[in-house]
Every structure is written in structure tokens, then in C-alpha cells.
Amino acid sequence: MSEEQAVYRGWKIREARLRAAIGTQKELALRTGLAPNIISDLERGRRNVSPAWAMRIAEAVGVKPDDLLKG
């Protein structure tokens, strides 16, 4: 999936995080190796997610990267 094809849906990360019983953005940040402010920005739609970030987040929350992106 290329970055040009990816359409980000910020609420999907928050929803997936909560479904995975990851209570805080900080905890998701620790599991993914991303900074907490990046997770916050992603969930609020203030930053676009790269395919690489989507893969890391998807692995941490137990979904497919495509579940966080809409191609």
C-alpha cells in the first residue's frame, strides 16, 4: 500500500486501541515505539499515518494495517 493510496481515519486507531484493552495513548506509544504525542496527533486526525506506523500500531492492537487505513 503506498502513501498516496492511504486515506487515514484517525478514530480507527483510538477504537482499535480501546478494543485491545490498551487504556492509554502512552501505553500504545510504548508498545509501538512511537512518541506519545504522535499517537495523540494520529487519534485526533492532526497527523497522517504512514504505512510503516500503521503496521506498528496494527500489530500492537491486533488488527490488520488496512483496518486503520482505507485504500
- Per-domain boundaries in the chain: 7-64
Query: What cell numbers appear for 67 in the block?
Result: 483496518
Tell whether the model's pLDDT for residue 3 goes beyond 70. no
Examine the pLDDT at 18 and tell me if it is beyond 60: yes
Global pTM reads 0.83
**Grid cell of 37 as nine digits:** 504525542
CATH 1.10.260.40 for domain 7-64: yes
Number of H helices, E strands in the chain: 5, 2
- How high is the pLDDT of residue 8? 59
What's the rounded mean pLDDT across residues 14-37? Answer: 97
**How open is the CA angle 71-21-41, to the nearest 5 degrees?**
50
